[in-house]
Structure 1
Amino acid sequence: NWRGKPLVSHEVIISLISSTTTQKGLIVKCELDENKYPKGIQVSDEDLLKVNMKMDDFHGEWNYTILPNTS
């Protein structure tokens, strides 16, 4: 929980995310990806339809799981 803790550096953010736990035993691993990625890449509607996504019943537009393609 980072409520009230200033997110002043990547190190602080990674530390706070990595310390996340739940009563059911969730383990979170986090690391900074410093790779450079091109901006402005557009994904076509056709390509997006090929992604095997399972939408959650609660706000599926925000909550979904991306599963491996079986084809």
Structure 2
Amino acid sequence: MEYRLYSHISMNWAGKPLQSLQVMLAFIRSTTTTAGLTVETELDEGMYRKGRTATERQLRELALSPHDVCPRWNYTFTPRLTS
């Protein structure tokens, strides 16, 4: 089953001001669907280097399926089966 998580989150907080990170996280955590989706989230305040990119080899090794519409922006990751 495929869930489109961001659309449900967007519907949950539609028209409501996102006044702080805590308010935003609360809206994300309270997102559910009739199919039973629940969401867990936490704030990651780690420091990360900017400008890092994946190599072509790393990208090829991903289980990545681009969508027909805007494939550079829309794609699905699927779990890899390990042997």
Provide TM-score, normalisation by structure 2. Answer: 0.70
Distance apart, 1:49 and its partner CA: 0.5
Q: Within 5 Å, which residues of 2 pair with 1:31-50?
A: 31-50=42-61
Count of matched residue positions in the alignment of Structure 1 and Structure 2? 70
1:16 paired with 2:27, answer yes
1:27 paired with 2:72, answer no
Q: Bigger shift: 42-51 or 59-68?
A: 59-68
Indicate the percent of aligned positions where both proteins have the same amino acid: 37
Aligned partner of residue 13 in structure 1, secondary structure? helix
Aligned to 2:14: 3
Alignment partners' CA distance in 2, 1:44 and 1:35: 23
The Cα RMSD (Å) is: 2.2
Higher helix share: 2
- Listed one character per residue, the Cα deviations across residues 32-63 of structure 1 (whole Å, up to 9, x for unaligned) are 0111110000211121101122x276648314
Question: Structure 2: which 5+ residue stretches go unaligned?
Answer: 1-11
